[in-house]
Structure 1
Amino acid sequence: MKKKTIFGILAVLVVALVIFLFVRGNSGNANAVTVRTDEVKKETIVEKLSTTGTLIPNQTQSLVGTGNVIDVNVKIGDQVEKDKVLATYDNGLQLIAGFAGTITQVNIKAKQADTNAQQGKPSIQLDDLSTLKVQLALANSEASAVKIDQKADITSGNHTFVGKVTEKDPVAQNTQSATGTTASLGAVVTFDKAPENLFAGFDVDVDITTNTVENTVALPIEALTYTDKNEPIVYIVKDGKAKETKIKIGIQSDKLIEVKDGLKDGETVILSPNSDVENNTEVTKE
């Protein structure tokens, strides 16, 4: 009887121990934070500056006369050849086209005095609309990143055209508005091939390639976070736990960021870590 009793007690203890270990293991898993993860890989990262510009003629000529107008030989929309006489004045002055283009403004009439100079307007405006370009107004934060000959993608509606930066002003210009004075630096992007069905005066989206790094450790941007000292960190997953890792970052695209130090190719990082994720937090992957 005594042996049966001892074996019975041992059996109960074994069962109890198994149940305890099972519950303990399940309890540990229940306390783990579920996270989304991704793997760090080596990739090419292309950094771009996205801005908006205005389509303008490649050439423009603002002709201004003075005196009484005798004849006006053109109207808006006329295409004229170089050296065509556009208007004649009673003082012998003639307004002559400096290049082949399209008349876009006519602010004078025959047998009337030309007062456009006093109003700051051209008497006649001539534009070359066959080869448009894009005028940019760069903010202070953008100006240093833009350089001559950088590749640019110009988008209007569903159409994207290839071009490059060809001009950059040496100094910024101030513009007065209702909200105050703003400064911007002018730059010009030209098309590699003359576009069709675009019109001067409309805005277009411009993406300028400012930097490219090939075969570099690339981190998904949504994995990046910062300490209260504004130091860049990520959380890697190691042995089922989140490990806070300081990193040194470089350029970035819209989805990836260059990691110069702190991570290796193939490591697993937590995406969009919330406040529940801290150093050594137990985690499980979705």
Structure 2
Amino acid sequence: MKRIYLLSVIVILAACNNKPKDPKAELADLKKQQADISSKIAALEAKPGMQDSTKSTDVSVVTVKAGSFTNYVQIQGHIDAQDNVTAYPQTAGTIIAINVKVGDHVHKGEVLVQLDNSVLKQNILQAQAQAELASTVYQRQKNLWDQKIGTEVQFLQAKTNMEATQKQVASLRQQADLARIISPINGTVDQMDLKLGQVASPGTTGIRIVNADILKVKADVPESYATRVSQGQTVKVLFPDAKDSLIAKVTFASKVIDPGSRSFGIEIKLPTNRNLRPNMTATLKIADYNKASVITVPLKAIQKSEDGDYVFVNENGVAKRSVVKQGILYNNQVEILSGLKQGDQLIVMGASDVEDGDKVKVLAGN
């Protein structure tokens, strides 16, 4: 009976142990086991030498080389003629003759337009007649005086009268000369809108004359570049409309800052070029910094962190982090003062996708 009782107890306990578990509890238990396993795997993979030896990141590289590096200050300007003037009459009058037309080449001192000065011409003729009479009287009075005939007062009065009439003729001729427009320079008539019979006035009726053989570029440089732009610097001048460019020197740099625009003017004289015209747009690239031998890298290859700037270089298929010190940036190229040497394989494309020690695969063509 005792054995039968023990056997019954064992059967009952076994039945209790085979009772199905709660599904929610079982799921929670499995998730806990999964989290523990993932944590152990991550810890093992982080250990040196445990990385997947077959995994690599595709990158492109450039070989670091030293070369010349120039930084430019870039500003906008325009072409102007060295001699660009407007000739005006010096007195008011009616236009009676126009001797030139737009496009004509003229010389300095040439009469371009004649105004009506007929009244002055009549006055000049009268004054000339009086001057001739006064001169004759003087010559006769002088002959008498040389013979000790007459008085000294008579001689001096004749001389004074002659000189006064001559000055009057000269004065009237000068007034007559004001009644015309004269070219002050050698050049080409660029603009003129005059008609016969039109009344011309000083300062309002004129002819623009341009000497297009001597051109210059003028530009206003912001005050912030005052210490970087000066006379004598090399400048590359680009003419977008003429599809042309040239290398020149800054021939003039103003010492005064304009209080309104907070800028100062510069000028660059240009060689003769028939494709260039006044008021064309010009882009100036003024070299304010130059080194003959310096390492430069593309801006996109540089990464930033709280500890400073760095790049990745390819060393036998492994990305190695190198801290760098930057210099001047121009045209997406950065001067490197330290951290790289010639011959290094700088990772450019894919640099943001790798970490120090990652395996990399250099794409074909690099």
Q: Corresponding residue for 1:236? A: 313
SS of 2:54's partner is: helix
SS in 1 for 2:181: strand
Question: What's 2:138 paired with?
Answer: none
Match of 2:191 in 1: 105
* 1:203-218 superposed matches below 5 A: 203-218=281-296
**Structure 2 equivalent of residue 46 of structure 1:** 70
Q: CA RMSD in A?
A: 3.3
Name the CA distance, whole Å, in 2 between partners of 1:69 and 1:226: 76
- Is 1:85 matched up with 2:163? no
Contact kept in structure 1, 2:311 and 2:351, CA below 8 Å: no
Deviation at 1:52, TM superposition (A): 3.6
Structure 2: tracts of 5 or more residues without a match: 1-48, 118-174
Q: Pick from 57, 67, 74: which aligns with 2:92?
A: 67
Superposition deviation, residue 263 in structure 1: 2.1
Which residue of structure 2 lines up, in the alignment, with residue 188 of structure 1? 267
- Among 129, 145, 150, the residue aligned to 2:212: 129
Whether contact under 8 Å (1:247, 1:263) holds in the other structure is no
Distance 1:263 1:151, change over 3 A: same
Q: Distance in 2 between matches of 1:224 and 1:168?
A: 37
Measure the CA separation in 2 of the matches of 1:112 and 1:36. 75
Deviations, residues 171-216 of structure 1 (Å, cap 9, x unaligned) = 44478xxxxxx6543222222x322322222223433333220122
Q: How far does the alpha carbon of each residue in 1:225-283 deviate from its partner, in whole angstroms, 9 at most, with x for none?
A: 44469x54333334612404131313x55464322223222222221555423445443
Deviation of the 1:37 alpha carbon? 1.4
TM-score by length of 1: 0.71
Whichever residue aligns with residue 52 of structure 2, its letter is: S
Query: How far has the Cα of 1:48 moved from its partner?
Result: 2.8
Greater fraction strand: 1
Mapping for residues 1-286 of structure 1, pairs under 5 Å: 27-30=52-55, 32-65=56-89, 67-70=92-95, 71-89=97-115, 92=176, 93=178, 94-114=180-200, 117=203, 123-142=206-225, 144-156=227-239, 157-173=242-258, 184-191=263-270, 193-227=271-305, 232-238=309-315, 240-250=318-328, 252-254=329-331, 256-273=333-350, 275-286=352-363
The AA in structure 2 aligned to 1:111 is G
Structure 1 gap ranges (5+) = 1-23, 176-181
CA distance, structure 1, for counterparts of residue 52 and residue 353 of structure 2? 17
| Pair 122,285 (structure 1): closer, same or farther in 2 beyond 3 Å | farther
**Percent of counterpart pairs with the same letter?**
21
- Contact 1:81/1:99, CA 8 A, preserved across alignment: yes
Looking at structure 1, the residues matched to 306 and 185 of structure 2 have their Cα atoms a distance apart, in angstroms, of 61
Aligned to 1:29, the other structure's residue is in SS state coil
Q: Match of 2:100, SS?
A: coil
Aligned mates of 2:88, 2:257 — CA distance in 1: 27
- Structure of higher CA gyration radius: 2
Structure with more helix by fraction: 2
Over residues 126-161 of structure 1, what are the superposed CA-to-partner deviations in whole Å (9 max), with x where a residue is unaligned? Answer: 111112222223344555433222223333444333
Partners of 1:147 and 1:43 lie apart in 2 by 25
Distance across 2 between alignment mates of 1:68 and 1:148: 46
2:54 and 2:254 map into 1 onto residues whose CA distance is 61
